[in-house]
Amino acid sequence: MSSRLLSFVGRTGRRRLMSTAIKLTTVEVNDKTGIATLTMCRPPVNGQNLELLLDIKSSINEIKNNNSRGLIITSASPKVFSAGLDILEMYKPDQQRLRAVWTELQNVWCDLYGISVPTAAAINGHAPAGGCLLATACEYRVMVPNCIIGLNETQLGIIAPKWLVSGYLNILPKRVAERALTQGRLFTTDEALQEGLIDEIANSKEEAVDKCVAFIGTFAKVNPVARALTKQQFRADNLRQFHKEREQDVDDFLSLVNRPEVQKGIGIYLEGLKKKANKQ
């Protein structure tokens, strides 16, 4: 939950500031299907800052505890599923906050990757880097046309840690994953379908959600405990490895981001994003 200062003029005519709690995710459970939809709502691009990550984590936990039959993750933004980590969190960072950001990204990944109910991503817009991470943590992906998805870290001069790559390796053949990661390739929707990075294309967000619901529906007649244990068997090795390395991984991330050449690169990248946005 993030707090925002609202400014208003009170009865005395003085401007007052009021702090309100704003949730950056919503959870809606469909009464008929029992499926929960987790929607990210941090305009304009669902940049994963500390508050969004905390809210995603708490929404996943809410879904874990409310007996939902499945989880669909999507975005309230019309063009972007998630632009990945909020780069502002990494530029000239406050060290404690940066540590918390990476720890929460780890938490979101392991909670989403490890949840026992069926999961699907309705990718209703672009999903680079951390956006792709969320989608690949799920069991099924449906994406709208003319968007991009992938792990582009090497393009930014950084490397994606092993746990982040493991989602990719669950889906893509090793040869395709290695080439895509070393190139920092962003796949178009059509390319992603061709390579198997996504499972289906849908013409709208609504259709994407419907297709995710249909996927989750395929488990209706499967014993949920047997399903959950089977999913766990497939994912346990990656999770075990992640838990062994997670503390070292935070230290590695911090030392990488704090390197002067990486800070310089992030500054240039941010400038490029702003210039591009101003041209549009």
Ligand X SMILES: CC/C=C\C/C=C\C/C=C\C/C=C/C(=O)SCCNC(=O)CCNC(=O)[C@H](O)C(C)(C)COP(=O)(O)OP(=O)(O)OC[C@H]1O[C@@H](n2cnc3c(N)ncnc32)[C@H](O)[C@@H]1OP(=O)(O)O
User: Of 56-85, which residues contact ligand X (CB under 6 A)?
Assistant: 79-80, 83-85
Q: Contacting ligand X (CB under 6 A), which of 129, 171, 213, 250? A: 129
- How crowded is residue 192: how many other Cβ atoms within 10 Å of its Cβ? 26
Q: State both tokens at 253.
A: 């991330």
Q: Contacting ligand X (CB under 6 A), which of 51, 55, 86, 199? A: 86
Rounded distance, CA 34 to CA 139, Å?
18
Which position has the token pair 């395929």? 218
Q: What are phi and psi of 279, to 5 degrees?
A: -70, -30
Quick one: 18 or 273, whose CB is closer to ligand X? 273
- We find the least distance from the C-beta atom of residue 38 to ligand X, in angstroms, to be 19
Is residue 130 part of the contact set for ligand X (CB under 6 A)?
yes
- How crowded is residue 231: how many other Cβ atoms within 10 Å of its Cβ? 18
What are the catalytic residues?
Answer: 85, 130, 152-153
Give the closest residue to 148 by CA, choosing from 77, 56, 75, 81.
81
- We find the least distance from the C-beta atom of residue 98 to ligand X, in angstroms, to be 10
Q: State both tokens at 260.
A: 């002067």
Is residue 47 part of the contact set for ligand X (CB under 6 A)?
yes
Quick one: CA dihedral 263, 267, 270, 272, positive or negative?
negative
Q: Which window, 34-42, 187-195, 213-221, 266-274, contacts ligand X (CB under 6 A)?
A: 266-274
3-state secondary structure of 120: strand
Strand partners, 7: 17
Quick one: 81 or 140, whose CB is closer to ligand X? 81
Q: Contacting ligand X (CB under 6 A), which of 11, 14, 92, 276? A: 276
Rounded distance, CA 11 to CA 15, Å?
9
- We find the least distance from the C-beta atom of residue 36 to ligand X, in angstroms, to be 25
User: Of 194-253, which residues contact ligand X (CB under 6 A)?
Assistant: 253
Is residue 160 part of the contact set for ligand X (CB under 6 A)?
yes
Instruction: Name the residues that contact ligand X, by CB under 6 A.
Output: 44-45, 47, 79-80, 83-88, 90, 126, 128-130, 152-153, 156, 158, 160, 164, 253, 256-257, 266, 273-274, 276-277, 280
